[in-house]
Chains A and B, each alone.
Chain A
């Protein structure tokens, strides 16, 4: 690593104009990135991470502007440069990789043309020459079938491949600075792991200075050398990666680490510690230390003065009055004890509540030809869920994990009746529930409720919070009419909000609060089965912990049976007793949670576990990586559906014969042709 400083920000302050006033979104941000160095910028959403990145390339939009401070790129100030010069620097010397690969690529241009564009404009290359450069670049990012990809359109590539194209494009002109704004957030864990491997490798090879923005501590630990933690528009701690992850000093950094569920600890052994409160909006900053309202260790001095970012050791800057204290003695967080799970040692099988028998959910593919429209062609189906059996026992939680497109959400929708099933049978406490919701009795409907994923669409923006919960109460006549209001208030308290939330409108709530209201609405009918479809994946880490704790508390207190659908193996382990791993509409491994997370693994489970980003920069990259994309569910692969991507494929049998779920121990089944011993040898 050379010592040449590529990018330097000094006391940068950025503001946005709004209808009412000017909002100072970012204040006093200073850091520098050397050649070959990767600086990770982490923090919750709304902390100004992306604003900093956009200010470097002057993409702040019509109402954003740099108020003061300097942005120096390779010794030259970037501000007040004419747009023409900036345009030459962008694309040639500074590149950016965005979060949404699909919207960053032009859907109507072939990959080779959009990639060659920057070579042709910035380096004046001819078309032929540019194409051969592009091919080289695609090979460098390990694009499978690079020649074929050249002439494809973006929609013909998978998300991971699109992100590879964007990274290849960003590296085409060999830029000095690469800005990556959450490049892996929109990707599946397995794909994310492969892309992170690639980023780490390219960094070593090209010595590009990188600004890496992420909300995920695990991801940053994987790629960054230095980490800057941002909070409400200011940097609160800046140090090299191992210091941040092993010896953090700022209470906010520590809080961010403590709220992560750990994929390595089983249910009940570790408690999640959410950071209370929320990030203040930039126009309502607290006086004194900006973190003081959420800080357990705030003292009088923290409420009065504003701490400065101070250098305490070489390479370690921190913005906290009590930093020197923490150096000598680590702060002890107050431990909040949750109620003991009432069934923690309940191994004896309880009564089955829900049973699925060979359930199939197929979606018809729209006809593309006139012949098909007239019914002359065989109808094709997306085999979203293709013959699934499982049971959920009363009082237990089943976690369903898998990549996107594996059919886990379709299962959830089928159980509650939002989707009609194509075949098979579903039973709920002995009642047949194979029919969709419009044909179910109100009593059955009441027994099954759902917690949804997207906090922004979970509540109807036209009604206040209390009314929406009351709709459910009125519908099921859970309480007499005159007690509805007090019952709503009780439910609000149950999800750790107070009565004053009754009259709040959804737009006045944060994501975590909306999700709590969604939970309150779901438990209002007092359901026997609660299905949570990715309940925390759209929330900030600090809030995720609080919502997971809340769900766990509801489960232990009310002994509700739950199904948790998630792509995040850490939260599933934190939350469930049983786990089912799904791949392309089939269950490949099912059993007791502890059995799933320990060898023997199904090869797919092993790959999923290996892909989980862990907040520890010293862990080496795993060798179990999946390549390629999930095959189409219209024509699923023959035999074992995983054989096209399986790193442990043994031969023709995998392609010819479909493996059946086979018992390895009492509460653990795997569908794989490998023998038990061979499965035991798979490590992650």
Chain B
């Protein structure tokens, strides 16, 4: 009884200090990340550009007076005015409102498709790099066939087969991203698996799955984060492109690519829908790329 209570007494502060440590560790990681950010003006500018869009997308209902779908036939193709900040399109819909709600779609679908690609890419790349041999050959040759198609062609094939919907856009972009991510993970795994801590894990009889997930995957995170950010930029770009080709979200959903597509026939009369949607795509993609590039440069500077 007595010894039991001693163990209990010594146990609870231990558990607390353990929890405190984990929190502290996470906090340190976050702080280290922000220190990295502060040191790189490129990354800061990129992050600011992205955050502006995130802010606008989140508070879109509060920041707009009109619904993005509301059509006003009396005010078609109007230039910017106090009523409509960015004017109206060929159906009399408020361009500013469509832009903000369009940001919601792109900021939701972009990351979502990359996350899907990331999960599948890791699931294929980790075993390929870890086992090598015939498994690696089979996985990589299959992914090579996907890489043989130009990205946009691949997306067009997939969407024409599945039909345009937001779900299918995610699927198409995810499939397009898998080979690249799998290759990156495979290369990192092939390097990390020769480290001695992996041998140590084998020496305690850990299963291959445990070794891959616990020992190897966490050490791939640096390059993967940068790649992830870059890919969101590309995804945004391709969602725009698909929208422009009429393969994006079905109308009347507000979609930047779709706005360019619908607006470009009326461009001579009213340039605002095309111009604002184009600038929106450009600023988001450039912002994400600057952010990723800045992070990569800064984290490699003093090595």
Contact = CB atoms under 8 A, between A and B. Distances in A.
A485 B18 contact: yes
Interface string A425-457: 000000000000100101001101110111001
A475 B204 contact: yes
B36 to A, nearest CB: 9
Contacts of A681: none
A486 B10 CA distance: 10
B204 A452 contact: no
Interface string A466-478: 0010011001100
Interface stretch (B71-79, B108-116, B192-200): B192-200
Contacts of B214: 471
B204 A457 contact: no
Most buried by A among B202, B206, B215: B202
Interface residues of B, number: 26
Given A454-B196, A458-B197, A485-B18, A445 B219 contact: no
A468 B198 CA distance: 12
Contact of B196 (A440, A452, A475, A503): A452
Contacts, number: 70
Given A445-B203, A445-B205, A482-B7, A460 B302 contact: no
Nearest to A457: B195
A475 B218 contact: no
A462 interface: yes
A370 B218 CA distance: 39
A503 B26 CA distance: 13
A530 B218 CA distance: 29
B39 interface: yes
Given A19-B301, A457-B197, A462 B203 contact: no
A476 B201 CA distance: 12
A450 B204 contact: no
Given A460-B197, A485-B18, A450 B215 contact: no
A22 interface: no
B67 interface: no
A450 B200 contact: yes
A404 to B, nearest CB: 17
B219 A450 contact: no
Contact of B204 (A19, A418, A476): A476
Interface residues of A, number: 38
Given A464-B25, A503-B21, A416 B203 contact: yes
Contacts of A463: 218
A440 B11 CA distance: 36
Nearest to B21: A503
B14 interface: yes
B18 to A, nearest CB: 7
Interface string A81-118: 00000000000000000000000000000000000000
A450 B203 contact: yes
Interface in A497-542: 503, 505, 518, 521-522, 525
B211 to A, nearest CB: 10
Nearest to B24: A503
A19 B32 CA distance: 12
Contact of A18 (B10, B215, B302): B302
B132 to A, nearest CB: 12
Interface string B82-115: 0000000000000000000000000000000000
A459 interface: yes
A19 B302 contact: yes
Contacts of A460: 197, 215, 218-219
B203 A449 contact: yes
B218 A437 contact: no
17 contacts: A19-B301, A418-B199, A437-B203, A445-B203, A446-B204, A446-B205, A450-B203, A452-B199, A454-B196, A457-B195, A458-B200, A459-B197, A461-B219, A471-B214, A485-B14, A486-B10, A503-B25
Interface of B: 7, 10-11, 14, 18, 21, 25, 39, 195-197, 199-206, 214-215, 218-219, 221, 301-302
Given A19-B301, A460-B197, A505-B25, 6 more contacts: A445-B205, A457-B196, A464-B21, A468-B197, A471-B201, A471-B204
Minimum-distance CB pairs A-B, first 8: A462-B218, A452-B196, A457-B195, A445-B205, A460-B197, A475-B204, A457-B196, A458-B196
